[in-house]
Amino acid sequence: MMAALGAVVFLSWLASLSMMATYLSPAPSSANAGFWESRLERLGGTLFKVMPDSVAEKIRRNHAAAGGAQAPGDTRGTAGPSAGQQISAFSNLLTAVALNTLQLAIVGVLMWWAVRASLRPLRSISGEIASRKGLEVAPVPVDRVPDEIKPLISSFNALLLRVEEAVQAERDFVSQAAHELRTPLSALHAYAEVALRADTVEQKDAALQRLLEVARRSNRLAEQLLDLARLDAGINLAGYRDVDLAELAGHVLSEFKVQAENRGVRLVLGNSSCRATCDVDAIGILVRNLVDNAIRYGNRHGLVEVSCDYCVGDEQLRPYIEVCDDGPGVPPEARRSIFERFYRLADGKVPGSGIGLSLVAGIARLHGAQIETGTGVDGLGLCVRVIFPAEAAAATV
């Protein structure tokens, strides 16, 4: 587009320069001598004649008065230019104004044509985008647009790619969630029928107990799915505030007292304390999922330790929180995979949804935190440590 506009301006300038050169060029012996000069003078005379009579008469009187006047102090007695010469000069001025106006009009038309021709591909692409249906997010071709617009179209295509990834992730989430919910709902239905058909009170109680366990797992799954949906929506940075991680961990452990007592698991909170700037609700979900995993996948009558402190990373003091257990643990080669959404260990003996640790990874990522894994209590089980960035450390440290 800029090339077309530049060509229009160059042609206009070249035409003006050639007319001026022809007008000023001295060629008395040429057959075309004075051609442009005579034509321009004739044009000036025509313009002067078409002026209103009152304006033309006033110009004649003014020029006549100016031509007969003598400048004060002029002792040479020379008269000024004649009225005819002054009218001729005025005619030349009218000619220049008319030619400049015509030139501007021609330049305006050419520029309008150049802009319209350059933007024609954009109108075509706009119509193509408007005709798309549903969530069609195919990239816009950049080979048909002007060079000046290509960076904008490339950025728009990058946005479409992110939208496509988000839509695909949402579809995968809905598909997996539907599958995860279908299993416990079927189990609830089956155990309810078994309880209704039981012949003895003992059989009915056993079926109801299984029904209660499935109901608890379903409730936990629903909570995790809701947390996952909130996580996908993002974390509001305005909700960040200074949080005592030890106090937060204490509140979370109090929520798991009954679950831990049912498995005979002892919950221990470390004595150290640390503070971090974070979203307290999101970090509460993170700690809650880590403690829940440690209790459910650890040993019966085992131990779960939760602690927080500071460590040195990149020569800076960084707060962290960790949850350790003494259960069977996770093989080193699978420790990275357990944080993927809906991932389960192949030989897992405890049923699970594969959502809890993916929530932990997502919340940590949104906080710019790092996750480290290792062995747990006394070299057994699993230990998960979430290390926050140095910027999250409270100023009181």
pLDDT tens, position by position, 154-173: 888 898 888 888 788 777 77
Residue 76 covered by a domain: no
Residue 136 covered by a domain: no
pLDDT at position 290 is 93
Q: Which residue has the higher pLDDT, 317 or 237?
A: 317
Same domain? 40 vs 186: no
Percent of the chain with pLDDT strictly greater than 70: 71
pTM to 2 decimal places: 0.56
Residue 4, pLDDT above cutoff 80 = no
Same domain? 244 vs 186: no
Same domain? 325 vs 358: yes
Most confident of 47-51, 134-138, 327-331: 327-331
Q: Which residue has the higher pLDDT, 327 or 81?
A: 327
Measured CA to CA, the distance from residue 59 to residue 348 in angstroms comes to: 106
* 82 — pLDDT class (breaks 50, 70, 90): low
Measured CA to CA, the distance from residue 67 to residue 84 in angstroms comes to: 9
Same domain? 161 vs 90: no
Same domain? 275 vs 331: yes
Same domain? 387 vs 245: yes
Same domain? 182 vs 274: no
* 77 — pLDDT class (breaks 50, 70, 90): very low
Report residue 181 as tokens.
């919910």
Radius of gyration of the chain (CA): 43
Going by their DSSP bridges, the two strands 316-325 and 370-374 should be labelled as unpaired
Same domain? 10 vs 119: yes
Same domain? 246 vs 295: yes
Last residue of a domain, one of 185, 218, 233: 233
* 74 — pLDDT class (breaks 50, 70, 90): very low
Last residue of a domain, one of 233, 251, 271: 233
pLDDT at position 352 is 67
**What residue numbers bound the domain in which 219 lies?**
144-233
Residue 137 covered by a domain: no
* 373 — pLDDT class (breaks 50, 70, 90): very high
Same domain? 91 vs 152: no
Residue 120 covered by a domain: yes
State the CATH number of the domain containing residue 310.
Answer: 3.30.565.10
Give the mean pLDDT of 17-34.
Answer: 53
Query: Which segment of 65-74, 87-96, 123-132, 341-350 scores lowest on mean pLDDT?
Result: 65-74
Give the mean pLDDT of 19-38.
Answer: 53
Last residue of a domain, one of 233, 266, 290: 233
Give the mean pLDDT of 177-182.
Answer: 70
Residue 27 covered by a domain: yes
pLDDT at position 31 is 47
Same domain? 313 vs 335: yes
Residue 271 covered by a domain: yes
Give the mean pLDDT of 5-14.
Answer: 66
State the CATH number of the domain containing residue 187.
Answer: 1.10.287.130
Same domain? 29 vs 54: yes
